[in-house]
């Protein structure tokens, strides 16, 4: 189990899965901003898009910091019984 947790690909797949689910909402907001007829409506969707991207960025930063902290707690050398 620890071998899987030390594998960066494991975290990459989790991260991509999380981004993909958030990406659908971002794509929806981007499409609405592009299809907006008035400038005010477009600015509203762009502001929503900025807020959503900021949330995603903050969450990704927190997750990466948690991973770094967890890796610091792991022993650098395997424990050998005598």
Separation CA 58–CA 55 (nearest Å): 5
Q: What is the mean pLDDT of residues 39-65?
A: 90
- Asked if the structure places residue 25 within a domain, the reply is yes
- What local confidence, expressed as pLDDT, does residue 53 receive? 87
- Asked if the structure places residue 8 within a domain, the reply is yes
- Asked if the structure places residue 21 within a domain, the reply is yes
Q: Which domain holds residue 55?
A: 2-72
- Asked if the structure places residue 46 within a domain, the reply is yes
Separation CA 32–CA 45 (nearest Å): 7
What digits encode the pLDDT tens for the residues 12-31?
A: 666 666 656 566 788 888 88
Q: Which two tokens stand for residue 11?
A: 């975290």
What digits encode the pLDDT tens for the residues 53-76?
A: 898 889 889 999 988 888 888 777
């Amino acid at each position: 189990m620890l071998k899987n947790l030390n594998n960066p690909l494991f975290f990459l797949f989790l991260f991509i899965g999380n981004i993909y689910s958030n990406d659908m909402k971002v794509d929806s907001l981007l499409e609405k901003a592009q299809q907006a007829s008035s400038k005010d409506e477009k600015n509203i969707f762009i502001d929503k898009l900025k807020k959503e991207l900021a949330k995603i960025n903050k969450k990704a930063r927190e997750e990466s910091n948690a991973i770094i902290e967890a890796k610091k707690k792991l022993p650098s050398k395997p424990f050998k019984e005598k």
